[in-house]
Structure 1
């Protein structure tokens, strides 16, 4: 009786998640854990590209806002300098008009005594032109920075709109993930039980005391940390957050986005793999990355409900390999 009740509840959970579709009334057997894992992997591969897109947009938004502040800080003193210089020009011009030009300067600029209105206006124009030439470089730099900031403002506004949209989609994704996690609980009987131990042996399998080896060691140190999408530590990680943290420990910056990390390392072949190299999965979408630890093994953050763990390198279709640093 108890087995039948468990089977019925699991079938209901699968149907609620969209994994089993309605049809003729046929008795359904409780799926095995491996069947549930296969369904979870299939749906997760549809969710993870959206997660990585959110990482990309959110990371760019943070960078753009920092650049906005930097440009604003540069523009403000330049504007003050230009305004002060222009006030000086106006003040000198007014004094010259009221009092007449100094004889030595006047001799160079005008003919005769600057007592007439025409001569005074000519002197005013020459003096203003001279002063404006002195501040032209500053004004040009100010205008260039202002134009750059204006363009950046437009891009940042667009990124902010996408960030809001993806954040809303993130909420929907989290609900879907919750339903997937319920399937895991049904299949395994406990949310804390996974498809095997986090460590499958020594980690790294091959230790080298270079940057790659130390990055691999850092990834091994993080085994057991829970997966949280969009997270780069210190208490949880997603796939690109894990590799970012591993390489940050040896002074190499990687962006928190799989496609950026693909472009931030140099290509290596399967035969050239060394501990610390990044292994990318799913050609085309590039929505998962792990770090090689030697012996045909990697460390990666798989998906929600799981933890940072060791796995064989063939945990999915491989897109290629990259070496950071």
Structure 2
């Protein structure tokens, strides 16, 4: 009996051990904390900083392609009439040479009739040489200009073909970019919910903070008028804007042209210090530069932040360290 009791005790101890182990496994683990909106925004900013440089590269390449094709169109428009001018000149001068050969100069005809000597032929050949020189002079100007345009066209065609290849490659990556854009938007929705994905009010106060009637002030006012428009990658309105598209349109409203590319805009106008910043000045971020906003006063800018967001007011310190400040115009 003792042996049976001892065996039962051992079994019981084993079962208690198993129960204890299972109990440990069944104890609910601490739930993972839901990411805070600020942590999600930080992730979005980090991912967007990488993505936006690609978007700006696309803007740059596509703009260059458009310019090259426009320049080719102008060259072709000049080449056709120049070629026609050369052809007509050659035809006209060729006709003059043929008539001269048939009729000769008065001196040559006289020499042939009066003397019948070979000097008539010599004079005729001399006259034809003069005609040939006149022919070369008549077409040289048009032909030289035609050849210059043809050379320029050949060089531009080579460059345009290379740019077109890059543009096509970036266009093929558009789906990949758009997928990343969509993923970022899903992150925002998870953080805020679909109804609150705008990260607070789009206006934080008067915009511009203090209005001035110079070009910068009016450009700032234009940007303020676009608050609420959705961010659309590669867009410069009217339905939506990306960062450099917004600043381009704002300054275009006062007659100042900016390229749709932050890499170009950071060289526009002149550099100003933060202590001298005025409404309308462009504020740049990133290295290399990939984001820009337009200053509206009170340490505030209007910018198109990133996908899923809208044109809005924000502190100029919101997007990280400022790379540079420029004043166009």
Name the TM tier (shorter chain): 0.7 to 0.9
Aligned pairs (5 A) from 1:138-149: 138-149=142-153
Q: CA deviation at 1:135?
A: 2.3
SS at match of 1:263: coil
| 2:94–2:135 CA contact under 8 A, matched in 1 | no
Pick the aligned partner of 1:309 from 299, 306, 312: 312
- Between the aligned partners of 1:106 and 1:39, the Cα distance in structure 2 is 99
Kindly tell me: are residues 112 and 93 of structure 1, through their superposed partners in 2, closer, same or farther at Cα, counting changes over 3 Å? farther
- Between the aligned partners of 2:103 and 2:76, the Cα distance in structure 1 is 40
- Between the aligned partners of 1:114 and 1:250, the Cα distance in structure 2 is 78
- Between the aligned partners of 2:37 and 2:225, the Cα distance in structure 1 is 28
Kindly tell me: are residues 305 and 106 of structure 1, through their superposed partners in 2, closer, same or farther at Cα, counting changes over 3 Å? farther
Alignment of 1:292 with 2:290, yes or no, is no
Kindly tell me: are residues 104 and 253 of structure 1, through their superposed partners in 2, closer, same or farther at Cα, counting changes over 3 Å? farther
| 1:184–1:191 CA contact under 8 A, matched in 2 | no
Kindly tell me: are residues 43 and 191 of structure 1, through their superposed partners in 2, closer, same or farther at Cα, counting changes over 3 Å? farther
Q: CA deviation at 1:192?
A: 5.4
Question: TM-score, length-normalised on structure 2?
Answer: 0.85
> What is the match of residue 200 of structure 2?
196
| 1:228–1:237 CA contact under 8 A, matched in 2 | yes
SS at match of 1:302: coil
State the number of aligned residues: 297
Q: CA deviation at 1:103?
A: 3.8
Aligned pairs (5 A) from 1:52-131: 52-103=56-107, 119-131=123-135
Q: CA deviation at 1:262?
A: 1.0
> What is the match of residue 31 of structure 1?
35
Pick the aligned partner of 2:210 from 182, 206, 211: 206
Q: CA deviation at 1:236?
A: 0.3
Greater displacement, 79-88 / 185-194: 185-194
- Between the aligned partners of 1:258 and 1:270, the Cα distance in structure 2 is 19
- Between the aligned partners of 1:296 and 1:212, the Cα distance in structure 2 is 15
Pick the aligned partner of 1:252 from 249, 256, 267: 256
Kindly tell me: are residues 34 and 95 of structure 1, through their superposed partners in 2, closer, same or farther at Cα, counting changes over 3 Å? same
CA RMSD of aligned residues (A): 2.3
1:237-261 alpha-carbon deviations (Å, 9 max, x no partner): 0000000010011111111001111
List alignment gaps of at least 5 residues for structure 2.
1-28
> What is the match of residue 239 of structure 1?
243
Which has the greater radius of gyration? 2
List alignment gaps of at least 5 residues for structure 1.
1-24
| 1:51–1:170 CA contact under 8 A, matched in 2 | no
1:134-161 alpha-carbon deviations (Å, 9 max, x no partner): 2212211111111111111111111111
- Between the aligned partners of 1:52 and 1:245, the Cα distance in structure 2 is 16
Alignment of 1:152 with 2:156, yes or no, is yes
Q: CA deviation at 1:51?
A: 0.2
- Between the aligned partners of 1:162 and 1:235, the Cα distance in structure 2 is 27
Greater displacement, 219-228 / 126-135: 126-135
- Between the aligned partners of 2:237 and 2:199, the Cα distance in structure 1 is 23
- Between the aligned partners of 1:177 and 1:112, the Cα distance in structure 2 is 94
Question: TM-score, length-normalised on structure 1?
Answer: 0.86
> What is the match of residue 279 of structure 1?
283
- Between the aligned partners of 1:95 and 1:58, the Cα distance in structure 2 is 56
- Between the aligned partners of 2:116 and 2:191, the Cα distance in structure 1 is 103
